[in-house]
Amino acid sequence: MKRLLLLLAVLLPLALPAQLTWNATSHDFGTIYEENGVATHTFEATNTSKSAVSILRIVSSCGCTTANFNDSTVAPGEVMSLTAMFTPSNRPGRFSKQVTVCTTDGNYRLTVKGKVVPTEGTLNLFFPEKSGSLRVNNRQLMAGKVTRNSSATVYVAGFNAGDSVMHPQIAGNPSFVTAECRPTAVEPNERFSVFLRFTAVDSLDYGITEVPMTLEDGNGNSLPVTLTATVAAPERSNEDAPSVAVSTDRINFGNLTKTKRPKDTFTLKNNGKTTLLIKKASVLSEALTVERCPRKIEPGESATLKVSCNPEFVNENVLNTEIILFTNDPAAPTVKVRVVGYKE
């Protein structure tokens, strides 16, 4: 027994792992400027054990962060240096990146963090919509198809490009659109997100619904924002919904002459069991005029729309445009009729 204890007393110190003791495992760059290029910081670690430690590899959490070290093997008592490098290009706002040092002693995670003040070019790339210091990536939000009494969430990514704290909020949203801003207070040169939740309530017609709202920053700046969703009936309810049918999806006026204004027609029919609503008709060329567009078509009824063309407003001698009708048919919220022609 004494011999066993003596053997353990000799072997245990040999089995003790090597150890790197770091002067710090995190560094805050504070505020850095994208235009100044790469930011660097050197971490140091001392081998406080009696065995050598080998650096096996360095793993970064992001391609924007790399690291170099001065020696792959650290002898007992020696100090190693590791330089972490962060590239701020196209990375506006706050960041936190990790570098993992994999060694024969185990893995060590080092962190570099800070906040990037972007160049105007980066702001225009990621947040092109602006009002003063209020910047966002997009003002036209598409929620897609939303079944009656269900919800869909979209979001706006924003940035505070000013020198004051910003408090973003949505104004003018109806009860079926709820908004949440994160964070509620946005420091200068930091990002934020606005989440908009659209619910297809019973009071909304089937088809496309556009909801105009305003994003305000609390500092006098604002941007109009529009959320678009297509309200759809549940599959089991489609048989009770309106159903639009169009007689043609193409009108060809052929050769357009200055002395003649060609005319044509197409027909809409409601094959459903409830009233078909024509919410809006968009004509994408000033050369076209659409007449007799109804506001509603009852089940089983039809309506004929008259289309005329003024060749004087046809540019580049070619007419190639669309008439778009917005309906409450959940299966066909938009009806498109292409109109073509040419001038010799």
Contact 111, 62 (CB under 8 A): no
CATH 2.60.40.10 fits 239-342, yes or no: yes
- pTM (global) more than 0.75: no
**334 in helix, strand or coil?**
strand
Q: Place domain 18-117 in its CATH homologous superfamily.
A: Immunoglobulins (2.60.40.10)
Mention every residue, 6+ apart, whose C-beta is less than 8 A from residue 232: 145, 146, 147, 148, 200, 206, 330, 331
Domain ranges of the chain: 18-117, 127-232, 239-342
18-117 and 239-342 share one fold: yes
**132-188: pLDDT as tens digits:** 999 999 999 999 989 888 999 999 999 999 999 999 999 999 999 999 999 999 999
Distance CA 312, CA 259 (A): 10
The vertex-103 CA angle with 101 and 105, nearest 5°, equals 125
Beta strands in 137-287 (DSSP E): 140-147, 151-160, 169-171, 177-182, 191-199, 207-216, 222-232, 244-246, 250-255, 263-270, 276-283
In CATH terms, the fold of domain 127-232 is Immunoglobulin-like (2.60.40)
Query: Quick one: DSSP state of residue 122?
Result: H
The more confidently predicted of residues 261 and 110 is 110
Ramachandran class of 318: left when φ > 0, alpha when ψ lies in -120 to 50, beta otherwise: beta
| Mean pLDDT within 223-242 | 83
301-333 residue pLDDT tens: 999 999 999 998 888 788 899 999 989 888 888
Rg (CA), the chain: 33
